[in-house]
Amino acid sequence: MPKQSAIEKPAVLLATSGDMRLSANQICWPAQEALEKALGAALSGLGYSLKRAHPYKAAEGHGFISSQREGLEIFRTIDPDAPLIIAEAVWQYSHHVLPGLTTHRGPILTLANWSGQWPGLVGMLNLNGSLTKTGVRYSTLWSEDFTDTFFLRKLGDWLKIGRIRHDTSHARALAKFEIPADIELLGKKMARELVNRKTIIGVFDEGCMGMYNAIIPDQALHTCGVFKERLSQSALYHETLQVPEEEARAVREWLDHKGMTFHTGKNDATDLTEKQILLQCRMYVAALRLADDFGCEAIGIQYQQGLKDLLPASDLVEGMLNNSDRPPVRSRDGKRILHKGKPLVHFNEVDECAGLDGIITRRVHEALGQPVEST
């Protein structure tokens, strides 16, 4: 008699969203590959197999979904009722997979590693926020090496019943806490002031890196007394180039005087160069002046998918803006120091949730006589 083949284990589909930048996907692929191998072993131990819903792309050197268009094409081939895992070992752009997930009927599990190498957990949480905002039901899970008891037990639950329940007893309603009367009165006073007087946040191109979760609907933001000034990164680029070099050098000299050390080289592709530092100093001046033009209490610079092709990373700019002790910048007419002695709140990657939080946090700390710096 012919030898019978082993019974095939039921398959669980896997999809993985990556960066939009080819170089990032190639560099990060080994970490993703290791995650998938460990996840496959965990599933095998529970009686299942892991099947990729899209192939490794040999010509590109990675197996990530790297655009929204590619994601749509892949999801057209996925059984909408199949159990589906979105596994992330890297930072990812949520809009690559979000459209397909909005109509997926089968159980969805978002999963990430716990590693400081690449921000897979952050990428997963970003996707979770987008799914929650969209109203898509999903479960979520994470592990350092995918062999711990907690992970395997929860993964087993998802395989059996299609959902995972986590212990949330540590989170309690604010109403159950007794807030000191003076603090409560101060909070209510500040809330009324924000709603009545209102304020503006400057948004330099909305929706950074597919972060649908980072866009607050206008009508929701308006109830807080906060309104968006929609600005363009092209305007920031133009304004940056208008800043005279002597102003940029004055910013650099201020930093040197404060004791900041820059480790520079000569290769723009691999080193931090003097030219890049001065461009960031010019962008810092430009950002403050544009914020002043539009009366913004806070601004968010996307940087990705736009400025990344034109200017060095805006990290130095963002760090300086969020600090009280920073290089002085004068208004266009030279008569005022802009936001003298105070931060101009910057919300990283145009995350409007962080922007709203930044405004409130700065105001609260200022009212309490506490340091107002943030990141």
Q: What is the CATH number of the domain that holds 282?
A: 3.40.275.10
Are 190 and 60 in a shared domain?
no
Residue 340 falls inside a structural domain = yes
Residues 184 and 328 occupy one common structural domain? yes
Q: Are residues 189 and 248 in the same domain?
A: yes
CA dist 218 → 223, 226, 298, 344 (Å): 9, 9, 16, 22
At 306 the pLDDT is 75
User: Residue 297 — very low, low, confident or very high, per pLDDT cuts 50/70/90?
Assistant: very high
CATH code of the domain in which 15 resides: 3.40.50.10940
What residues are paired with 17 via a beta bridge? 65
Q: Is residue 1 part of a domain?
A: no
**112-141: pLDDT as tens digits:** 999 888 889 999 999 999 999 999 999 999
Residues 154, 194 share a domain: no
Judgement on whether residues 351 and 238 belong to the same structural domain of the protein: yes
**pLDDT score recorded for residue 7:** 64
According to the model, what pLDDT value does residue 304 have?
77
Q: Residues 216, 328: one domain?
A: yes
Task: Give me the pLDDT at residue 307, please.
Answer: 85
pLDDT the model gives residue 4: 37
34 within domain boundaries? yes
What is the identity of the amino acid at 268? D
In a domain, 349, yes or no: yes
pLDDT in tens, 18-55: 999 999 999 999 999 999 999 999 999 999 999 999 99
In a domain, 78, yes or no: yes
Residue 49 and residue 81 in one domain: yes
For residue 234, what are the domain limits?
A: 180-367
Q: Residue 21: inside a domain, yes or no?
A: yes
pLDDT tens digits for 165-201? Answer: 999 999 999 889 999 999 999 999 999 999 999 999 9
Check whether residue 218 and residue 360 sit in a common domain: yes
| Cβ neighbours, 10 Å, residue 248 | 22
Tell which of 161, 190, 224 closes a domain: 161
Average pLDDT, the chain: 95
Whether pLDDT at 2 is above 50: no
> Is the pLDDT score of 321 beyond 50?
yes
pLDDT of residue 1: 36
Q: What percent of the chain has pLDDT over 70?
A: 98
One domain, residues 271 and 140: no
How many structural domains does the chain have? 2
**Per the domain annotation, does 67 fall within a domain?**
yes
152 plus 275 within the same structural domain: no
Q: What is the mean pLDDT of residues 312-319?
A: 93
**375 has pLDDT over 80:** no
Is 287 found in the same domain as 345?
yes
pLDDT > 80? residue 3 = no
Q: Which of 128, 161, 194 is the endpoint of a domain?
A: 161
Residue 172, in any domain of the structure:
no
Place 209 in a pLDDT band, splitting at 50, 70 and 90.
Answer: confident
**Domain match, 107 and 44 both:** yes
Work out the percent of the chain whose per-residue pLDDT is above 90.
91
Domain boundary among the residues 161, 194, 223 is at 161
Look up the pTM and report it.
Answer: 0.91
